[in-house]
Amino acid sequence: MREYLLILKGDGMKDMSPNDLQSMFAQYQEWVTDLGAQYLGGQRLEENGAYLVSKEGAVATDGPFLESKEIIAGYFLVQAEDLDDAIAITKTVPHLGPYGIEVRPLVWPKM
Amino acid sequence: MSGRNDQLMDELFRKEYGKLVATLTRLFGIAHMQLAEDMVQDALITAMDKWSVEGIPDNPSAWLIQVSKRKVLNELKRNKMILEHHQNLSFANDEIAQIDSVFMEEEIEDSQLRMIFTCCHPALNAESQIALTLKTLCGFGVQEVANAFLSSKATINKRLYRAKKILRETNAPFSIPSGAELLPRLQTVTTTLYLLFNEGYNSSSGDSVIQKAFCLEAIRLTKYLENKFTDVPEIKALLGLMCLHTSRFDARIDDAGGIVIFEEQDRSLWSKDLIQKGMQYLKASMNEKRLTPYHIEASIAAQHSIAESFEKTNWKAIYENYQLLNSLKPNPIIQLNLAIIQSRLEGMEESLKMLYTIETNNSLVNYHLLPASQGIFLLKLNKPKEAKSYLEKALQMNPSEKEKEYLKAQLEKC
């Protein structure tokens, strides 16, 4: 088993209707339950923050810094056998569609 | 926080959205309605995010209020200039106590009333009023509103954007009108709620779940008005009318989702609860001499509700009510109804004569129910050839999906 970071990009939920959000909630809850121990965590990120490119340079604050589809909206951390397995899991993420998802293995596997 | 895996209350997000947007708009002012909407949207996203992993809290509504309050405080800290635009509250010293107070239950209802008057501002046209009401007060999505209007998401977005811009420019306070201003404003509001109701009840969009939700929302908002303005009889009449019509909602659609025409409805499916409520409101509305179209329409609906069967309906009373309605607001649709009811009194030949008069007057061009009625009567009179041409004509006039199915079934009998 390795750990994979699923990076969610976009602003897909911003213009979802409350009804659609609620049905997504039901799918999301089911997804977390179905994954069981393979679900390690996840967080949504605030849109505003800072962006630094050097120790001396100016700090750009109050993003968003990128095009909306490039914005990192949040992440999930999951356990999977290999990249194929991680991709298979990603295909079941209810957020996929409204968001693009980048699948990246962590370099140091646990154990 | 409990780890329960319960289902959320039906459409909880949508219902809370409207309440919270009204409350936040009261705090920030009409000019910042969009900010209020964005913040509530974010609160809902936060909720769905946390609850999915941690479980649904014991009191989801209270949880959403808590998160919204925190967002309001952060926003006020982040952006002090908003306070300058502020019209209804001053946050000088007891900021938090003031914010707490608008989130009290009765104040949330009061904010929604203010929002009703705002959405139905006379500077907006009827279409914008309804779209804005559905979006901000009822929490429907732009796509859902677009479906109801048989329009596109882009068109509705533009309409909403323009409506908010107009409201900003009128610089209207977020308040309930009073004094001489109240009655004309109330009239605009009841008209809009009546149209919103019709949008649900008669809409040609296919989704009966959404349609019923529109009707129930119209009832909910009209009830707020009734609670506040207890001595305005037309509000009661309108509420009665809405309850009586909605009582038949489930009987209108069969198990396969097809349309069941009034004559063939299973009356045991009519909601007795809603009929009873509707009759109460209608009765309460009658204690004054003033008669509005809502009174008459409610009376017609009531006649149907108390009739044992289609055959035993008091058609004469209904016909007279329609005549009265036609004298108050002459309208070819009412004339169409009069013609249809005539079939119960003088017979279908007489009806067809009246329908033919409407047809030759050209007062109802493009309204599919005119040729549809003609076709159905002709078919019943065993004139399939003539019926066929009218039914085909009706099919060309953009009936709803369900009506289309019904008309096609009739055509097969020709």
DSSP B129-163: HHHHIIIIIT---HHHHHHHTT--HHHHHHHHHHH
The residue-averaged pLDDT of B244-253 equals: 91
Give start and end residues of each alpha helix (H) in B286-331. 293-306, 315-328
Q: Does A16 touch chain B (CB under 8 A)?
A: yes
Q: Sign (positive/negative) of CA torsion B303, B304, B308, B309? A: positive
Is there a contact between A20 and B141 if contact means CB atoms under 8 Å apart?
A: yes
Rg of chain B over all Cα atoms, to the nearest angstrom: 24
Q: Is residue A110 one of the residues assigned to a domain?
A: no
Q: Is residue A21 one of the residues assigned to a domain?
A: yes
Q: Is residue B166 one of the residues assigned to a domain?
A: no
Q: Is residue A38 one of the residues assigned to a domain?
A: yes
Q: Is residue B140 one of the residues assigned to a domain?
A: no
Specify the DSSP element, H or E, that contains B245: helix B233-246
The residue-averaged pLDDT of A11-17 equals: 87
pTM of the model: 0.84
Q: How far does A13 lie from chain B, in Å, by closest CA?
A: 7
pLDDT tens for residues B62-95?
Answer: 999 999 988 888 887 776 655 555 544 445 445 6
Distance from C-alpha of B188 to C-alpha of B120, rounded to nearest angstrom: 6
Is there a contact between B53 and A32 if contact means CB atoms under 8 Å apart?
A: yes
* pLDDT computed for residue A111 by the predictor: 55
Q: Is residue A10 one of the residues assigned to a domain?
A: yes
Q: Is residue A111 one of the residues assigned to a domain?
A: no
DSSP-derived 3-state class of residue A22: helix
Question: Does residue B144 register a pLDDT over 80?
Answer: yes
The strand pairing partners of B167, in sequence order, are none
Q: Is residue A50 one of the residues assigned to a domain?
A: yes
pLDDT above 90 as % of chain B: 65
Of B103, B24, B106, residue with least CA distance to B66: B103
Distance from C-alpha of A64 to C-alpha of A70, rounded to nearest angstrom: 10
* pLDDT computed for residue B131 by the predictor: 93
Number of domains observed in the structure of chain B? 1
CB-count burial class (<10 Å; 0-12, 13-18, 19+) for B183: exposed
* pLDDT computed for residue B3 by the predictor: 39
Residues 6+ apart with CB under 8 A from A39: A32, A76, A78, A79
The residue-averaged pLDDT of B103-107 equals: 90
pLDDT tens for residues A69-84?
Answer: 788 999 999 999 999 9
Task: Kindly list the residues from chain B whose CB atom is less than 8 angstroms away from the CB atom of residue A74.
Answer: 49
Question: Does residue B274 register a pLDDT over 90?
Answer: yes
Number of domains observed in the structure of chain A? 1
* pLDDT computed for residue B5 by the predictor: 46
Higher pLDDT, B81 or B229: B229
CATH label of the domain that carries residue A83: 3.30.70.1060
* pLDDT computed for residue B239 by the predictor: 97
The residue-averaged pLDDT of B325-344 equals: 91
Which two three-digit tokens encode residue B160? 């909403």
Q: Is residue B276 one of the residues assigned to a domain?
A: yes
Higher pLDDT, B263 or B117: B117
Residues 6+ apart with CB under 8 A from B151: none
Is there a contact between B51 and A29 if contact means CB atoms under 8 Å apart?
A: yes
Closest residue on chain A to B38 (Cα):
A14
Q: What is the rounded average pLDDT for all residues in chain B?
A: 88
Q: Is residue A40 one of the residues assigned to a domain?
A: yes
β-pair type (A72-80, A39-44): antiparallel
Task: Kindly list the residues from chain B whose CB atom is less than 8 angstroms away from the CB atom of residue A36.
Answer: none
Task: Kindly list the residues from chain B whose CB atom is less than 8 angstroms away from the CB atom of residue A20.
Answer: 141
The residue-averaged pLDDT of A4-27 equals: 91
Q: Is residue B280 one of the residues assigned to a domain?
A: yes
In the 8-state DSSP scheme, what is residue B266? Answer: -
Q: Is residue B7 one of the residues assigned to a domain?
A: no
pLDDT tens for residues B282-298?
Answer: 999 997 677 899 999 99
Residues 6+ apart with CB under 8 A from B242: B197, B215, B218, B219, B222, B278
Distance from C-alpha of B372 to C-alpha of B410, rounded to nearest angstrom: 10
Higher pLDDT, B212 or B298: B298
Higher pLDDT, A43 or A63: A43
Q: pLDDT band for position B4 (50/70/90)?
A: very low
Of B344, B414, B358, residue with least CA distance to B384: B414
* pLDDT computed for residue A64 by the predictor: 57
Which two three-digit tokens encode residue B44? 């809902």
In the 8-state DSSP scheme, what is residue B249? Answer: G
Higher pLDDT, B224 or B330: B224
ipTM: 0.86
Residue length, chain A? 111
Distance from C-alpha of B24 to C-alpha of B111, rounded to nearest angstrom: 9
Is there a contact between A21 and B44 if contact means CB atoms under 8 Å apart?
A: yes
Q: Which of A13, A29, A33 sits opposite B45 (nearest CB)?
A: A13
Q: Is residue A18 one of the residues assigned to a domain?
A: yes
Q: Which domain holds residue A76?
A: 2-105
